Amino acid sequence: MTITSPLPSVDVLRRNNVAVSGVPDARPIVFAHGFGCSQEMWRAVAPRFESDHRVVLFDAVGAGHSDLASYDPVKYDSLHGYAADVLELLEALELRDVVFVGHSVAAMVGVLAATRDPSRFGALVLVGPSPRYLADAEADYEGGFEQADIEGMLDALDANYMGWSEAMAPMIMGNGERPELALELTESFCSVDPEIARHFARVTFLSDNRRDLSAVSTPTLVLQCSDDVIAPTNVGRYVHQQVSGSRFVELSATGHCPNLSAPDELTGEIRAFLR
């Protein structure tokens, strides 16, 4: 299947605020961030690959310094929209044999992109992946969350964004009419557009991509944290079982973000897999 790019490559790079560093002709490694943050998520990991890789970082549309005007709610109502962007990005940079490192929901975006066009991928590294966050009693699947939890999460999002955008912003900016400007100030880290974050949360936490795992033909590493409430160990094992030939490694790092809490260990495991 050919994916036709609707945008000239320079626009794709601007749209996703793509940053390329490292060794130009070396094997490309692409780091993809998950829900709630931006490419800053990788700031402790990505530089460690610059000596022997072509390192590519990007912001999903709606996050970081991506082009918010490119946000099309229809396109991004499923992870397929984000996967299409990844493929366009790889095409724009003419990357082959790509090591795709996806954290959290970006792990599933990588799975969708790599099953749609495997030709550009050399390795998939799935950090804290979950193909479905909701439990599915009928299929005996323990995702970790119930529908009500997800709705509550959206409430929490709203409550918190309300705090930022409507209460805090005018105070800081002294300008009640342009809260979006203030948002950038208050959120100098991992800036996200509140409306888009809300939609992205829905898409992230209400998607079910279990069926897509078995179609993965790219060599895959599943990295599982200890005590990860978002993507519990049984879910990581499920991903490992469904992706045939995948390698499963349990990190001693705890929580959901080893890219922040244990960059050494994470880097070591990725390198060990690529060796």
Q: What backbone torsions phi and psi does residue 186 show, to the nearest 5 degrees? A: -65, -30
What are the b/e assignments for 26-43, b being 16+ CB within 10 Å? ebbbbbbbbbbbbbbbbe
Q: Which is nearer to other proteins, 170 or 255 (CB)?
A: 255
142 binds other proteins (CB under 8 A): no
Q: What's the length of the chain? A: 275
Cβ nearer to other proteins, comparing 13 with 169? 169
- Number of alpha carbons in the 13 Å side-chain half-sphere of residue 173: 20
Site residue total, other proteins (CB under 8 A): 59
Establish if 19 lies at the interface with other proteins (CB under 8 A): no
Q: Does 168 bind other proteins (CB under 8 A)?
A: yes
Q: Judged by CB under 8 A, which stretch of 6-14, 24-32, 85-93, 138-146 contacts other proteins?
A: 138-146
Binding span for other proteins by CB under 8 A among 57-65, 153-161, 175-183, 216-224: 153-161
Cα separation, 124 vs 122, whole angstroms: 7
> Concatenated DSSP letters for 231-256?
S-HHHHHHHHHHSTT-EEEEEEEESS
Among 162, 171, 181, 272, binds other proteins (CB under 8 A): 162
Catalytic: 256? yes
Q: Does 35 bind other proteins (CB under 8 A)?
A: yes
Cβ 26 to other proteins, closest distance in Å?
28
From CA 227, how far away is CA 192, in angstroms rounded?
A: 27
Query: Which of 130, 228, 240, 246 does the annotation list as catalytic?
Result: 228
Q: Strand, helix or coil at 172?
A: helix
Stretch that binds other proteins, among 47-55, 92-100, 142-150, 236-244 (CB under 8 A): 142-150
Residue 228 falls in the annotated catalytic set: yes
Helix axes 105-116, 79-92, angle to 10 degrees: 60
Token match 């209400």: residue? 206
- Rounded least distance, CB 201 to other proteins, Å: 8
Kindly identify the residues of this chain, within the stretch 73-132, that bind other proteins according to CB under 8 A: 73-75, 77-81, 104
- Residue pair 128/266 in contact (Cβ under 8 Å)? The answer is no
Active-site annotation holder among 53, 59, 85, 104:
104
Nearer to other proteins, 116 or 247 (CB): 116
Please name every residue paired with 30 in a beta bridge, in sequence order, or none if there are none. Answer: 56, 100
Q: Applying CB under 8 A, does 3 fall inside the site for other proteins? A: no
**Alpha-carbon gap, residue 269 to 275, rounded angstroms:** 10
* Active-site residue set: 104, 228, 256
Residues in the site for other proteins, rule: CB under 8 A? 34-37, 40-41, 43, 73-75, 77-81, 104, 133, 136, 138-139, 144-153, 155-160, 162-163, 168, 187-190, 203, 205-208, 211, 227-230, 254-257, 260-261
